[in-house]
Amino acid sequence: MSMAARRVAFLGLGKMGAPMAANLSKACAVRCFDPAAAAIEDARKLDLSMADTAAAAMEGANTVVTMLPTGKHAADVYLGDGGLLEKLGEGGLALDCSTIDAETAQKIGTQAAEMGVHYMDTPVSGGTAAAAAGTLAFMCGGTAEGFSQARPVLEAMGKKEGIFHAGPAGSGQVAKACNNMLLAIHMIGTCEALEMGARSGLDPATLAEIMTASSGRNWSLEVYNPVEGVMPNAPASKGYAPGFAVDLMVKDLGLAQEVAALAKLNTPLGALAHKLYSDHQKAGGSGTDFSSIILALREASPA
């Protein structure tokens, strides 16, 4: 199906969903819904077409994109009588961009297959800046045919080279869990290295340049430096206003631990990262960017 023929219902207009819907609306017809008044107000600032209910947004839609908080929300809206799968019907396309547990994604995928709906779990990576810029990465779980249907829709919200078919339904969620566990680990390591250098008299910007050209190079160091003032556009230089919030990292690390348990794998660094971020969240880090873990490190080791 061509993008011009797509009629998309977009459900879930938070900090990620709203800019994603705005980018998608440049490529095809999109009608949106979110139950939160604040989200609706923000969405209207982006000139999004709004519906009064999810059912109204689904009228005439052959595609649905969802960005939901938890697996329970996804199961509630997709499954059962009157669920999104039933409303789409055979041949419809359902893309769940939420980060949820793989088990729920597999359950939705199984029911979708029985109903002839192309369902993909398509969690995203890149944060709010990438959502606004239309440069998100998507990790997709579902059938090859579903992925073929999904790709042009996802390309309207992400970068072509960042759209991956990870495997069957649920695989996107597993890939996201693996990615974000590693992200948390190298962010913590980056914070420790930069703080150790700073306390030893090195300029953080100079040390970052050295490590970026050396074997310690990583995304947190090169793109998302956690030290204030090193990168003007990084959250650290904006009071740690969230691009990717601590609360979301805690959620994702919890999901990663569930994946590890199902895989019967001990992940000591992943488990420690989950504890450190959970402690930081409870100690006042909630609502800040995940790079603010450097503040918790400083508080734990006063100069």
List, for residues 74-94, the tens digit of each pLDDT value. Answer: 999 999 888 999 999 999 999
Residues 73 and 138 in one domain: yes
Q: Among 144, 169, 194, which residue terminates a domain?
A: 169
Reported as a pLDDT band with limits 50, 70 and 90, residue 113 is: very high
Residues 161, 224: one domain? Answer: no
For the segment 5-28, what is each residue's pLDDT rounded down to a tens digit? 899 999 999 999 999 999 999 999
* pLDDT tens digits, one per residue of 39-64: 888 888 899 999 999 999 999 999 99
pLDDT at 86: 94
Q: How far apart are alpha carbons 98 and 68 in whole angstroms?
A: 5
pLDDT digits (tens, 9 = 90+) for 146-170: 999 999 999 999 999 999 999 999 9
What burial class does residue 49 get, using C-beta atoms within 10 Å of its C-beta: 0-12 exposed, 13-18 middle, 19+ buried? middle
> Which is it for strands 93-96 and 63-66: parallel, antiparallel or unpaired?
parallel
Domain hosting residue 233, numbered range: 174-300
% of the chain at pLDDT higher than 90: 92
Across all residues in the chain, what is the average pLDDT? 96
Concerning whether 176 is annotated as a catalytic residue, the answer is yes
- Same domain? For 157 and 192 the reply is no
Same structural domain, 190 and 70: no
pLDDT given for residue 303 in this prediction: 79
pLDDT of 152:
96
Q: What is the mean pLDDT of residues 217-222?
A: 96
Is there a single domain that holds both residue 153 and residue 190? no
Which residue out of 87, 107, 176, 251 is catalytically annotated? Answer: 176
Average pLDDT of span 102-114: 97
Q: Say whether both 39 and 135 belong to one domain.
A: yes
What tokens were used for 154?
A: 């996802």
**Domain boundary at 121, 144, 169, which?**
169
pLDDT of residue 41: 86
Looking at the 3D structure of the chain, how many domains does it have?
Answer: 2
For residues 176 and 127, the answer to whether their CB atoms sit within 8 Å is no
Final residue belonging to a domain, choices 169, 199, 222: 169
Predicted local confidence at residue 274, as pLDDT: 98
Regarding whether 154 and 27 lie in a shared domain, the answer is yes
pLDDT at 2: 82
CATH code of the domain containing 91: 3.40.50.720
Do 17 and 98 lie in one domain? The reply is: yes
> In this structure, what CATH number is given to the domain that contains residue 228?
1.10.1040.10
3-state secondary structure string across the chain:
CCHHHCEEEEECCCCCHHHHHHHHCCCCEEEEECCCHHHHHHHHHCCCCECCCHHHHHCCCCEEEECCCCHHHHHHHHCCCCCHHHHHCCCCEEEECCCCCHHHHHHHHHHHHHHCCEEEECCEECHHHHHHHCCEEEEEECCHHHHHHHHHHHHCCEEEEEEEEEECCCHHHHHHHHHHHHHHHHHHHHHHHHHHHHHCCCCHHHHHHHHHCCCCCCHHHHCCCCCCCCCCCCHHHHCCCCCCEHHHHHHHHHHHHHHHHHCCCCCHHHHHHHHHHHHHHHHHHCCCEHHHHHHHHHHHCCC
Contact by Cβ (8 Å): 20, 135: no
Q: What is the mean pLDDT of residues 137-152?
A: 97
Work out the pLDDT band at 211, boundaries 50, 70, 90. very high
Residue 34 sits in the same domain as residue 52:
yes
Instruction: Verify that 126 and 143 share a domain, yes or no.
Output: yes
Mean pLDDT of 224-243: 97
CA neighbours closer than 13 Å in the CB half-sphere of residue 34: 25
What pLDDT is stored for residue 1 in this prediction?
75
Decide if 54 contacts 80 (C-beta within 8 A).
no
Whether residue 65 has pLDDT greater than 80: yes
Q: What is the pLDDT of residues 276-299, one digit of tens each?
A: 999 999 999 999 999 999 999 999
Share of the chain above pLDDT 70, in %: 100
Among 132, 104, 105, which Cα is nearest to 15's?
132
* Residue 260 and residue 186 share a domain: yes
Rounded-to-10 torsion of CA 118, 44, 127, 269: -80
Looking at the fold, whether 208 and 295 belong to one and the same domain comes out as yes
